[in-house]
Amino acid sequence: MELKILWMYHDVMDLYGDKGNIAVLKKRCERRGIAVQIDTCGMGEMADMCAYDLIFMGGGADKEQSLLYQDLIKRKEQVQAALDSGSFILLICGGYQLFGKYYVDAFGNQIEGLGLFPYYTNAAADNKRCIGNVLIEANLDGERVEVIGFENHGGQSEGVTQPFGKVIIGHGNVFHGTYEGFYNGQVLGTYLHGPLLPKNAKLADHILKKALKKRYGEVTLAPLDDTWENKAFAAMKKRLIHAK
CA distances from 170 to 52, 98, 115, 142 (A): 34, 22, 27, 23
Could you tell me if 152 and 130 are in contact, meaning their C-beta atoms sit under 8 angstroms apart?
Answer: yes
144 is in an annotated binding site: no
Residue tagged active-site, from 10, 153, 171, 193: 193
Task: For residue 50, indicate whether it is catalytic.
Answer: no
Residue tagged active-site, from 41, 93, 130, 171: 93
DSSP track, 69-112: HHHHHTTHHHHHHHHHHT-EEEEETHHHHHTSSEEE-TTSPEEE
Cα–chain center distance at 73: 19
> To 5 degrees, how large is the angle CA 196–CA 129–CA 109?
105
Task: For residue 41, indicate whether it is catalytic.
Answer: no
| Residues annotated within a binding site | 129
Catalytic residues: 93, 193
| Residues annotated within a binding site for substrate | 129
